[in-house]
């Protein structure tokens, strides 16, 4: 008990002591000026006493006393203020900028400003805000400026797409007029015969078609001849159907008698693969033997003209630097068309003995050319998978043939004047209707690329295709039913032709032979 009491007593005593004696007030020292100066004063007064210790401390790097630089606070405050004002101003500007609510337009705007169009986890509203903040920095005119630049680029691109003209020579103008005068009467004549055919009774026409198709089903290999010791790349019948010209990769062209396949003459002049050798229209009919009767071309870009008397070329046509894959005569025999892998084709006038037209238009090499039977149009097929039909009287590209998936290796007009066949690396042959500029039918012809297509030359009642699957096939026209497969070559078929009288078919092949086929 006593223990507790004494403690209470203790506490009461303490309390009374505290109440009696007021605590001594704590004196605050007020320093004026910088502490650093006071410190300096203190140090100087204590110089005698502890200066050595302080010096040692400074030397050791434990005491740092600055030399009295001051930091201006005003500048920093104004900088911060300025930043805040700028951010405020930017937000105000951003509020005033109108940004489209269409998300696709917002994305387009961001793309035009070179910003990422979508950030991870960003919704349309965030995207719109981001565009607004970007515009508030670069200024709302930036979008208009980039749009203007886009339009300018588009305009210059459109200008690239435009057709442009350059001045042609006087001889080209004369040739165009001559071609118009030549082709119009021929077109009239063709239309007259078409009208006459239209008047023939439907039954009669059907019977005739049936007979022709039956005879084609009886086509047989009637003669096979080894033509050279390298692959034979091209074959062509003479206009009188009495000769066949073959071209070979050995650089030799040969003339064979038809139908007994005896060698008449070897034409020596090319040093590399010959692409084509073609008879001039009227050769053997109204042309003299000493006249130019044939033309040939090769992969080194040389084009040579030949007569029927000599085995040397009578003329060289110079101008191509790249591979010339095909040559073709205009039906008049006055002009020669050549196609080259320099993406162009050329027209040569043999009367004035010069190149009158160098036509560009394909984006890759041009492989084949054929002239319309009237003499008014030329069709070219290229490695860009497009065909083009050119009007020789005006120079325009009048039909653009779009549809093949791979290169076009062969083009051929039908004698009816309004159908055009193209053979391509996509294993199909397309027949185009020139009157409405559409693809009429796609013949799923072969298992490999088509090297050549030919219509029957007198009335076009069948279509002949040759391909790299070692076969040639005969198709009815119109109807496109397969009538006959000409199998027999051991190598890919490089070229096919039908004799102008329509009786014989020739095929030439990589196996170094050419074959003649005849319906019994």
Residue 18 has pLDDT above 60, yes or no: no
- Position 72 scores a pLDDT of 63
The per-residue b/e assignment along 478-489, b for 16 or more CB within 10 angstroms, e otherwise, is bebeebbebebb
- Position 11 scores a pLDDT of 47
- Do residues 142 and 110 make contact, with C-beta atoms less than 8 angstroms apart? no
More confident residue, 161 or 428: 428
Q: For residue 201, what are the contacts with CB-CB under 8 A and spacing of at least 6?
A: none
- Position 36 scores a pLDDT of 74
Average pLDDT rounded to a whole number, residues 407-432: 92
- Position 419 scores a pLDDT of 92
Residue 74 has pLDDT above 70, yes or no: no
Let me know if 272 is exposed, middle or buried by CB neighbors in 10 A (0-12, 13-18, 19+). Answer: middle
- Mean pLDDT is lowest, of 32-36, 89-93, 214-218, 300-304, for 32-36
Residue 325 has pLDDT above 70, yes or no: yes
**Chain Cα centroid distance, residue 125:** 40
- Position 396 scores a pLDDT of 87
Q: Of 250, 255, 298, whose CA–CA distance to 274 is shortest?
A: 298
Average pLDDT rounded to a whole number, residues 229-240: 91
Return the C-alpha torsion angle 447, 448, 451, 453, nearest 10: 20
Phi, psi of 194 (to 5 degrees): -65, -40
Helix orientation angle between 141-161 and 124-138, rounded to the nearest 10 degrees? 90
What is d(CA 298, CA 253) in angstroms, rounded to the nearest whole number?
11
Residue 402 has pLDDT above 60, yes or no: yes
Element (H, E) at 453: strand 450-455
pTM over 0.75: no
Percent of residues, the chain, with pLDDT higher than 70: 89
Average pLDDT rounded to a whole number, residues 337-346: 90
Element (H, E) at 451: strand 450-455
- Do residues 371 and 378 make contact, with C-beta atoms less than 8 angstroms apart? yes
Q: What confidence category does residue 50 fall into, taking pLDDT thresholds of 50, 70 and 90?
A: low
- Position 309 scores a pLDDT of 86
Collapsed DSSP state (helix, strand, coil) of residue 252: strand
Residue 413 has pLDDT above 90, yes or no: yes
Q: What angle do CA 275, 281, 285 make, to 5 degrees?
A: 130
- Do residues 249 and 230 make contact, with C-beta atoms less than 8 angstroms apart? yes
- Position 13 scores a pLDDT of 47
- Position 145 scores a pLDDT of 76
How many residues can be counted in the chain?
520
Element (H, E) at 471: strand 471-476
Element (H, E) at 42: helix 35-45
Average pLDDT rounded to a whole number, residues 202-229: 86
- Position 7 scores a pLDDT of 45
Residue 282 has pLDDT above 60, yes or no: yes
Helix spans in 396-493 (H)? none
- Do residues 254 and 227 make contact, with C-beta atoms less than 8 angstroms apart? yes
What is d(CA 503, CA 520) in angstroms, rounded to the nearest whole number?
10
Average pLDDT rounded to a whole number, residues 346-360: 86
Residue 46 has pLDDT above 70, yes or no: no
- Position 220 scores a pLDDT of 85
- Position 33 scores a pLDDT of 66
pLDDT tens for 125-164 read 888 888 888 888 887 777 777 777 778 878 777 766 666 6
Average pLDDT, the chain: 84
Which residue is it, tokens 């704590």? 26
Question: What's the chain's Rg over C-alpha atoms?
Answer: 47
Percent of residues, the chain, with pLDDT higher than 90: 25
Residue 485 has pLDDT above 60, yes or no: yes
Tokens of 285: 């009919």
pLDDT tens for 361-370 read 888 889 999 9
- Position 377 scores a pLDDT of 92
Q: What confidence category does residue 408 fall into, taking pLDDT thresholds of 50, 70 and 90?
A: very high
């Amino acid at each position: 008990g006593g223990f507790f009491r004494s403690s209470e007593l203790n506490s009461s005593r303490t309390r009374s002591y505290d109440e009696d004696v007021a605590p001594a007030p704590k004196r605050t020292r007020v320093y004026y000026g910088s502490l650093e100066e006071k410190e300096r004063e203190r140090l100087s007064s204590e110089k005698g006493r502890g200066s050595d210790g302080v010096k040692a401390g400074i030397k050791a790097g434990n005491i740092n006393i600055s030399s009295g630089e001051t930091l201006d606070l005003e500048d920093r405050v104004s900088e911060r203020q300025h930043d805040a004002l700028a951010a405020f101003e930017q937000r105000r500007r951003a509020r005033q900028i109108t940004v489209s609510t269409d998300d696709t337009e917002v994305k387009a705007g961001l793309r035009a400003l070179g910003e990422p169009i979508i950030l991870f986890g960003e919704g349309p509203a965030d995207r719109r805000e981001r565009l607004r903040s970007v515009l508030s920095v670069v200024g709302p005119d930036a979008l208009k400026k980039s749009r203007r630049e886009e339009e300018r680029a588009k305009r210059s691109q459109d200008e690239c797409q435009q057709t442009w003209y350059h001045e042609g020579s006087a001889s080209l103008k004369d040739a165009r007029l001559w071609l118009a005068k030549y082709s119009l009467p021929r077109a009239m004549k063709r239309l007259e015969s078409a009208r006459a055919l239209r008047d023939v009774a439907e039954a009669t026409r059907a019977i005739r078609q049936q007979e022709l198709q039956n005879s084609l089903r009886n086509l047989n290999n009637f003669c096979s001849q080894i033509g050279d010791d390298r692959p034979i790349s091209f074959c062509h019948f003479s206009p009188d159907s009495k000769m066949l010209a073959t071209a070979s990769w050995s650089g030799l062209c040969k003339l064979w008698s038809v139908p007994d396949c005896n060698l008449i003459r070897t034409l020596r002049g090319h040093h590399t693969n010959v692409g084509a050798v073609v008879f001039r229209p009227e050769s053997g009919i109204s042309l003299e033997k000493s006249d130019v009767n044939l033309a040939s071309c090769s992969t080194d870009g040389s084009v040579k003209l030949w007569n029927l008397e000599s085995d040397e070329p009578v003329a060289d046509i110079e101008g191509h630097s790249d591979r010339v894959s095909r040559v073709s005569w205009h039906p008049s025999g006055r002009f020669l068309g050549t196609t080259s892998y320099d993406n162009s084709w050329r027209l040569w006038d043999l009367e004035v003995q010069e190149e009158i037209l160098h036509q560009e238009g394909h984006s890759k090499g041009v492989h084949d050319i054929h002239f319309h039977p009237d003499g008014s149009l030329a069709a070219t097929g290229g490695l860009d998978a497009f065909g083009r039909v050119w009007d020789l009287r005006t120079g325009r590209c009048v039909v653009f043939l779009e549809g093949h998936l791979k290169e076009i290796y062969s083009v051929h007009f039908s004698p009816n004047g309004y159908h055009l066949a193209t053979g391509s690396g996509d294993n199909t042959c397309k027949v185009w209707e020139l009157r409405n500029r559409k693809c009429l039918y796609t013949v799923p012809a072969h298992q490999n690329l088509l090297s050549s297509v030919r219509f029957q030359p007198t009335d076009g009642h069948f279509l002949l295709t040759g391909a790299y699957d070692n076969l040639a096939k005969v198709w009815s026209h119109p109807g496109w039913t397969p009538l006959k497969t000409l199998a027999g070559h051991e190598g890919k078929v490089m070229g096919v032709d039908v004799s102008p009288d329509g009786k014989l078919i020739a095929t030439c092949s990589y196996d170094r032979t050419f074959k003649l086929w005849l319906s019994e």
